[in-house]
Amino acid sequence: MSKAEILGQIRRGLGRTGATETARNAVSARLEAKQANLIPARAQLPEKACQQLFIEMASEAAADVIELKNIKLLPKAIATWLAEQDIHELVSAEDGPLSDICKQLPDTLHIRKGVAQAGDLASLTTAFLGIAETGTLMLYSRPDSPTTLNFLPDNHLVVLNRQDIVGVYEEAWAKVRGLNQGKMPRTVNMITGPSRSADIEQKLQMGAHGPRRLAIFLIG
């Protein structure tokens, strides 16, 4: 059996026949402890500074960051943003405030719920977290927030609460483990700016296969 042969070859290389007690303990201890390695100082900051860093890093990664005092301003901001791009349709996730928000969008906008299709121009989702370290959004799959929304449409509009900004990835993993009694969602997406490629002559172009534009509506 290939599995046995591969594992056997590994063990021979390591100079042991089975797994020693010490080896087993070392492995289960490490898996159990989930200990952080060195965390750079950059994003270990007070809350306000962290939020500022997130905005800077996300903008550097070419995301559009739109700061809004409160969620009441969101429908108008979304409508304006879409109008500016001359987009009249939106496919939306259904979690949190989104259904409510969608109701407040102008009637001229054609709104659909659920999964994205090829050819969709814009999608609306929430973000689970923002990670200040690199201006990264964290999203995860669930019934009311299908993952296709994050990748198929040309424009991705994301709602993020200011208090959901954490400093570093490690804080995000702790929160991911808090979802569904520790069961990982099928997918966790970390998104830092819109899609891009430099595969043609090393010249960076935005919008390779994923969204060409990423708009983050930062609430609070």
Tell me the window of 23-31, 64-72, 101-109, 159-167 that interacts with another protein (CB under 8 A): 23-31
Nearest to 71 by CA among 10, 161, 138: 161
* d(C-alpha 165, C-alpha 132), whole Å: 7
Using CB under 8 A, pick the residue from 35, 70, 108, 181 that binds another protein.
Answer: 35
d(CA 138, CA 57): 14
CB of 71 to another protein, least distance (A): 25
Question: Of 14 and 49, which has the nearer Cβ to another protein?
Answer: 14
Residue with tokens 């099928």: 186
Torsion, Cα 146 121 91 82, to 10 degrees, reads: 130
Residue 142 in the binding site for another protein (CB under 8 A): yes
Question: Residue 52 interacts with another protein (CB under 8 A)?
Answer: no
- Take residue 9 and report the two structure tokens written for it: 């070859």
Is residue 49 part of the contact set for another protein (CB under 8 A)? Answer: no
DSSP summary character for residue 146: -
State the nearest-atom distance from the C-beta of 76 to another protein, in Å. 29
Site for another protein in 168-207 (CB under 8 A): 169-170, 173, 176, 184-203, 205, 207
Indicate whether 119 belongs to the interface with another protein (CB under 8 A): yes
Give the C-alpha separation, 137 to 174, whole Å. Answer: 15
**Residue 18 or 97: which CB sits closer to another protein?**
18
Residue closer to another protein (CB basis): 169 or 217: 169
Give the Cα separation of 122 and 112 in Å (integer).
10
Number of Cβ within 10 Å of residue 215's Cβ equals: 22
Contact call for residue 118 and another protein (CB under 8 A): yes
210 forms part of the interface with another protein (CB under 8 A)? yes
CB closer to another protein, 74 vs 137? 137
Q: Tell me which of 21, 41, 84, 108 binds another protein, using CB under 8 A.
A: 41
Q: In the beta sheet, which residues pair with residue 159?
A: 126, 217
Q: Is 27 helix (H, G, I), strand (E, B) or coil?
A: helix
Which one of residues 52, 148, 163, 216 is an interface residue with another protein (CB under 8 A)? 148
72-111 binders of another protein (CB under 8 A):
none
